[in-house]
A = this chain, B = another copy of it.
Amino acid sequence: MIQYEPCWLRYEKNDQYKEPCFETIIAKELSPIFCVALEELKFAITSMFGIEPSVISISKPMERSFIWIGTLDDKELKDVLLDSEKFRSMYSDAYIIRSHIHNGKLRIYIAGKTSANTLYGVFHFLRLLQMKEDIHHLSIVEHSNNSLRMINHWDNMDGGIERGYAGKSIFFDNGQFTKNRRRIKDYARLLASVGINAVSINNVNVHQLETKLITEEFLPEVEEVAGIFRTYGIKTFLSINYASPVEIGGLSTADPLDPQVRRWWKETAKRIYQYIPDFGGFVVKADSEFRPGPFTYGRDHAEGANMLAEALAPFGGLVIWRCFVYNCQQDWRDRRTDRAKAAYDHFKPLDGRFRENVVLQIKNGPMDFQVREPVSPLFGAMPKTNQMMEVQITQEYTGQQKHLCFLIPQWKEALEFDTYVNGKGSEVKKVIDGSLFGYRYSGIVGVSNIGNDSNWTGHTLAQANLYGFGRLAWNPDLSAEEIANEWIVQTFGDDPQVIEAVSWMLLASWRIYENYTSPLGVGWMVNPGHHYGPNVDGYEYSHWGTYHYADRDGIGVDRTVATGTGYTAQYFPENAAMYESLDTCPDELLLFFHYVSYTHRLHSGETVIQHIYNTHFEGVEQAKQLRKRWEQLKGKIDEKRYHDVLERLTIQVEHAKEWRDVINTYFYRKSGIDDQYGRKIYR
């Protein structure tokens, strides 16, 4: 009995099709991944159409309708998959879905470059069925340029999830692995259905017990989990503690140049691969926020990462090295140090020094997953070093899954941002898919938003962020609208009113959240620690390097070369010039780059202070609108999900008012300037 939601894999009863092809599935191969593909297909067809298909393993087509599950290599498909050769060579991941009418009988061919790709093809085909698309004229050729489409879990073995807002871990509880393997399998299904091919299962902040995940104490169970993911084409990674040689290895140092340390890691890698032959590799947060790293021993990040990479290389493993490195003991009085500059300053000089099985994992923005940030200038700045982008699916700074915030538009902006590294058209998506510099490994990684809540993500509508992350990781060219539409139809059905309302809600939600929270890109006006709710000065006098510098005259961080921290110079000239000048700096990032007076006029024509008031009053009205649109769907959504979402939207409206009033009062008290429309601002 499944006690939790199927999310977008609902396979609701479907009377769109009357196809005899659903009765027969032909599959040549019966590898584990093919087996789960067949299992999924059978389950879905039975669920949608009430037909239990027969699976036939033959080597030539029969004279009837069928669905053929194969690979691009299948000789039998030569006539059908004319262009398969091309895809086999060009992309790491590709599949084809073709429909073919033969003697009046519909045949569907699904073939992947690998068995995992075939599984993706099956999920794609099931998506088409759930969306009630015409399947008589399919000629789909799909591929992904991102070789790594990864999820990072920040799960701890006590069952807690750092920045988790959807219950406890599905992997761990009470210092042990959980017993509910069915839940992990269903999670793997969700991930594979949107093309995720890598997952790290433990927090990047690796605590004492988790340090032992790479030992024989836990490797048998890591392998059990990896085995589940493996059958869905997903590689398992572990976050490691850089100080492991000291903490569990009995050595006196973790110096990456120390021969004993190198040997220890090599032996450790060998042991891991004995248990998990396709182990993905290590995710490493080193020398960041009090985590140990090579700095302790006077080594740099390249030396630190390469030592691990050397240990993993014989087995094909990767080192995913996080670039979230900055001085987290900054003095707030020090206006010269700029946390935004840190990743670039640390890593740019090391370009070319990393081994080829090292991938740098760079957060989308230079700070830390704020609702609005510019794109990290590190993207494109290291042509000789594998890079991937890290985004946060879990809504740490964007409402913690109590507020609706569909993040696909935010990620799209980052992916579409033109770095100008090779002139116009050098978008971030082309950096991280490796096409611009020929990276061997690259892609995109998202920090998970799921937990053991029955709906997986706390807020039911936050499922769309997980879905959308996977879809975007597969194909960054998909629009937010397309993704939203796909997700809604699969999740709530195809009622046009539902589609229209939920689509509007999703697509408007990021800007709405931005409206009633921190204005104009300045960020960080949140309660310290848990990061929920407004606190304008919460981080203003802290050691975290996160300031807004609001005074009675104005607000913002001067990051210009001319008069500020010089951060703008980290961008390629076109962007550097754009951000440097008040004339060209986009409004939504104004306070990230410039200190301006409250009466400074934006390109929009509003003053800064009036913009703050306007967006905060409007933001609350928009939040109310979110709730109202949802309420109009009563009766069109099942009761449970309807009420769950309504409850969260109500919390959001109330909390948006708190945001509005705190922000408005704060700036009124500081500026002394009245709202020009005379709305209520508490004194």
Chain B proximity of A545: nearest CB distance (Å): 15
Interface hit among A65-73, A288-296, A420-428, A529-537: A529-537
Q: Which of B333, B534, B552 contacts A552 (CB 8 A)?
A: B552
- The CA-CA distance from A537 to B537 in the complex, in Å, is 7
Quick one: given A661-B333, A670-B670, are A683 and B551 in contact (CB under 8 Å)?
A: yes
Measured between C-beta atoms, what is the minimum distance from A533 to chain B in Å? 9
Q: Of B537, B549, B662, B682, which one neighbours A536 at CB under 8 angstroms? A: B537
User: Does any Cβ of B come within 8 Å of A671's Cβ?
Assistant: yes
The answer, among B335, B534, B551, B552, for a CB contact under 8 Å with A541, is B534
Residue of B nearest to A682 (CB): B333
A337 / chain B contacts, CB cutoff of 8 Å: none
Q: Shortest distance in angstroms between A558's beta carbon and chain B's nearest beta carbon?
A: 11
Complex Cα gap A661–B333 (Å): 8
Find out whether the CB atom of B669 lies under 8 angstroms from the CB atom of A541: no
Contact of A669 among B335, B550, B662 (CB under 8 A): B550
With an 8 A cutoff between CB atoms, is A665 at the interface? yes
Say yes or no: is A413 at the interface (Cβ < 8 Å to chain B): no
Contact partner of A672 among B535, B551, B661, CB < 8 A? B551
> In the complex, are the beta carbons of B669 and A552 less than 8 A apart?
yes
Closest CB-CB distance, A372 to chain B, in whole Å?
Answer: 22
Docked CA distance A549–B669 (Å): 9
SS class of chain A's interface: helix, strand, loop or mixed? loop
A553 touches B672 (CB 8 A): yes
Closest CB-CB distance, A534 to chain B, in whole Å?
7
CB distance A665 to B552 under 8 Å?
no
Q: When the two chains form their complex, are residues B552 and A671 in contact, meaning their CB atoms are under 8 A apart? A: yes
Give A212-243 as 1s and 0s: 1 = Cβ < 8 Å from B's Cβ atoms: 00000000000000000000000000000000
Contact B661 A551 (CB under 8 A): no
Q: Which residues from 100 to 122 on chain A have a C-beta closer than 8 Å to any C-beta of chain B?
A: none
A265 to B281, CA, bound (A): 63
Q: Which of B332, B552, B682, B683 contacts A670 (CB 8 A)?
A: B552
A79 to B552: give the CA distance in the assembly, Å: 78
| Distance A665 CA – B331 CA, assembled complex (angstroms) | 13
- Determine the chain B residues whose CB is within 8 A of the CB of A537 once the complex forms: 535-537, 666
Identify which of B534, B536, B670 contacts A551 (C-beta below 8 A).
B670
Contact partners of A534 in chain B: CB under 8 A? 541
Q: How far is the CA of A536 from the CA of B665 in the complex (A)?
A: 15
Query: Shortest CB–CB separation between residue A525 and chain B, in angstroms?
Result: 11
Shortest Cβ distance from A528 into B: residue: B527
Write out the residue numbers on chain B whose beta carbons fall within 8 Å of the beta carbon of A333: 661, 665, 682
Q: Closest Cβ of chain B: how far from A536's Cβ, in Å?
A: 7
Residues on B with C-beta less than 8 A from A552 are 552, 669-672
CA distance A549 to B333 in the complex (A): 24
Q: Which residues of chain A from 356 to 380 have a CB within 8 Å of any chain B CB?
A: none
Interface string of A312-356 (1 = CB under 8 A from B): 000000000000000000001101000000000000000000000
Q: Chain B residues near A550 (CB, 8 Å)?
A: 669
Q: Please indicate the chain B residues that have their CB under 8 angstroms from the CB of A669 in the complex.
A: 550-552, 670
Q: Which residue of B lies closest to A536 (CB)?
A: B537
CA distance A333 to B682 in the complex (A): 6
In the bound complex, do residue B541 and residue A665 qualify as a contact, i.e. CB atoms below 8 Å apart? Answer: yes
Task: Output the residue of A332, A669, A672 with the most chain B CB within 10 A.
Answer: A669
Q: A682 vs B683: C-alpha distance in the bound complex, in angstroms? A: 27
Alpha-carbon distance between A665 and B335 when the two chains are bound, in angstroms: 13
Collect the chain B residues with CB atoms within 8 Å of residue A682's CB: 332-333
- In the complex the two chains form, what is the Cα distance from A534 to B538 in whole Å? 11
Q: Residues 537-581 of chain A: 1 if any B CB is under 8 Å from the residue's CB, otherwise 0?
A: 100010000000111110000000000000000000000000000
Minimum CB–CB distance from A641 to chain B (whole Å) comes to 31
Closest beta carbon of chain B to A527's beta carbon, Å: 8
Q: Which residues of B contact A668 (CB under 8 A)?
A: 551
Chain B residues near A549 (CB-CB < 8 A): 683
**Besides the contacts A534-B541, A535-B541, A537-B666, what 16 more A-B pairs have beta carbons closer than 8 Å?**
A333-B661, A335-B683, A536-B537, A537-B537, A541-B662, A549-B683, A550-B669, A551-B668, A551-B669, A551-B670, A551-B672, A552-B552, A552-B669, A552-B671, A552-B672, A670-B670
Interface residues of A (CB under 8 A from B): 332-333, 335, 534-537, 541, 549-553, 661-662, 665-666, 668-672, 682-683
What are 13 A-B pairs at a CB distance below 8 A? A332-B682, A333-B665, A333-B682, A335-B683, A535-B537, A537-B666, A541-B665, A551-B670, A552-B552, A552-B670, A552-B672, A553-B672, A670-B670
Q: Which 5 A-B pairs have the closest CB atoms?
A: A551-B669, A333-B682, A537-B537, A552-B552, A541-B662
